[in-house]
Amino acid sequence: MKIARLLILLVFLLAGLVIGSLNSQQIVINFGFTGIATTSGIAIIVALFAGVLIGASLLLATLVIPLYAKLRRANKAAVAANTPAAAPGSTYTQPVDGR
């Protein structure tokens, strides 16, 4: 599994190097109050990286965090439901934490 991740990382690194080398035209990105002079390849890679970060943070905020909160509530409810009914000599089962 670690080798597969390394190969995927190397493929994306190679793709970034190809994009950067094929798009070497100078451009100026104007923000109204300032401008940044860069190459179009770097601008493309930075835009893709920013899209990944924004998408991952939206996914984290709208899906992952609420699901973990729901899982914690379910675990607390399971522990509370099992505590009074458990006999003094019975074994305790650890609730599932999603990992």
DSSP string, 40-84: HHHHHHHHHHHHHHHHHHHHIIIIIHHHHHHHHHHHHHHHHHHHH
Q: Which residue has the tokens 């451009």?
A: 27
Q: How confident is the model at residue 32 (pLDDT cuts 50, 70, 90)?
A: confident
> Considering the chain, what percentage of its residues have pLDDT values greater than 70?
87
Task: Please compute the mean of the pLDDT values over residues 29-47 and round it to a whole number.
Answer: 89
Q: What is the SS3 assignment for 29?
A: strand
Check: CB of residue 25 under 8 Å from CB of residue 39. yes
Report domain extents, the chain: 2-80
Which residue in 19, 24, 10, 22 sits closest to 45, CA to CA?
19
Considering the chain, what is the average pLDDT of its residues?
84
Q: In this predicted model, which residue has the larger pLDDT, 97 or 6?
A: 6
Check: CB of residue 19 under 8 Å from CB of residue 12. no
pLDDT reported for residue 91:
67
Task: Please compute the mean of the pLDDT values over residues 51-75 and round it to a whole number.
Answer: 91
Tens digit of each residue's pLDDT (9 = 90 or more) over 67-96 = 998 999 999 988 888 775 545 556 666 777
pLDDT reported for residue 24:
84
Please list the residues that pair with 26 across neighbouring strands.
39
